[in-house]
Every structure is written in C-alpha cells, then in structure tokens.
Amino acid sequence: MLKTLKCSIIAFILTIAALPVQAHPHSWIDLETALIFDGDGKIEGLWVGWLFDDYYSAFTLEETQPDKFGEYPQEKLNELAETNLKNLAEYNYFSFLRADGKQLAIKPVTKYKTSVKRRLWMEFTIELETPIDPRSHKIDYAVYDPTFYIEILHAENGDPIRMIGDKALGCNYKLVKPEPPKELSFMAAALNKDETPSESIGASFAEQIDILCD
C-alpha cells in the first residue's frame, strides 16, 4: 500500500525521493487547525493549515521563479495545491474527525488557499457530510500521515488550535500528546525511505484533539 501512497501523493514523494536514506519521518509540517461551528452549534467542518518544512518548500519551489518583488505566481501555487489535495483525497486529506470513536464522513475539499510565507503554506477546509452536535457526542480529531513519512504536529507558537463560530461558546479542547510505545519508536527510527511501514504507524505519533462542550 505504501507503493500506492508513493505514486499517489506526487508532491510529497518528490521530496522523499530526493532525501538521503534516513529514519522516519522524512518531512515535517507545522499544523494549525480550527473547528468550524454552524449557527445551530453543530460542528460542520475543520479548517486545516500546513506550513511545510524548509527542505520541502525549497525543493517544491525550485522550478518556480518569483517576480522582481519576490512573489511567486499564484497560478503555479494553486496548481500545486490542487494536485496535492486531489491525491490526498484518497487518504482523507490526512485529517480524521471522529464521533464516539467512529470516523465521520466528509465532502471533497473545494475551499483552499496557498502562499509562500518564507516557507510554503497551504490551507483547506474539510466539510462534514452531516454536521454533528458536540454536546451529544464525544468528538475528537487528528491530522497525521498514516505511514509517518511526514510528521505533522501543531505549531509551537501563536494560536494553532481554534474554534470558529458564535455558537462555539462553551466548547473547549484538550490536546493529547502522542505517547508511542518505545518499541514502535525504535522501529520507526530504524526504517528508511525504501522500507514499507504499516499504514497504522502514523496514528501512534499523532496529536489528538478532544472537544469538550458544556
């Protein structure tokens, strides 16, 4: 299945293929997320922001020339984002929202923006097929690469986890840090880019956000 992942996620694998053999992960993303509430106080989606690492950003933008003001053509950046999102769709956009332990169905992503903030930035909105009441269900979410080729963790600075919408009042969150077993950490450290890890390995290294509502 990793072979399929390598073929599918084109932009990511370009970076991975260029890296020397090393332990997992091979690339890094600083994450921001915001849970979106509708007018009835139900969760209707998740906004996700990715700030790619320096290496990936430089590699991806290598063939895209900025203008005299140092700005990259928005058309080229949009094409990159569209390709990434199209290929990530098969993997739930690396974004997993759950209610009472069951994964929620989502719509295809159509809302996105991309830019260069010294590093490459991409944001997109995941909409649920059916909004859900966080006061009636136990809601949590996590954003991660199932194969752990890419480490995705919330940014350490700023306000990386937010609630959007007037009806979000009374809701808060708890960030649960990953605590992978030592043997799994050792196994990940021993893997190189030519080896095929389990597609469940990434969940053990993922941050989980538990939603708490009065």
Q: Is the pLDDT of residue 29 over 80?
A: yes
- The whole model's pTM is what? 0.85
| Residue carrying the six token digits 């299945």 | 1
Interval 89-107: pLDDT, tens? 999 999 999 999 999 999 9
Whether the predicted pLDDT of 11 surpasses 70? no
DSSP letter (8 states) at residue 106: B
**Among the ranges given (19-33, 107-121, 132-146), the one the predictor scored with the smallest mean pLDDT:** 19-33
Q: Where are the domains of the chain?
A: 2-213
Q: Model confidence over 120-167: pLDDT tens digits?
A: 999 999 999 999 999 999 999 999 999 888 999 999 999 999 999 999
Task: Determine the Cα–Cα distance for residues 170 and 94; give it in Å rounded to an integer.
Answer: 28
- How many Å apart are CA 209 and CA 212, to the nearest integer? 10
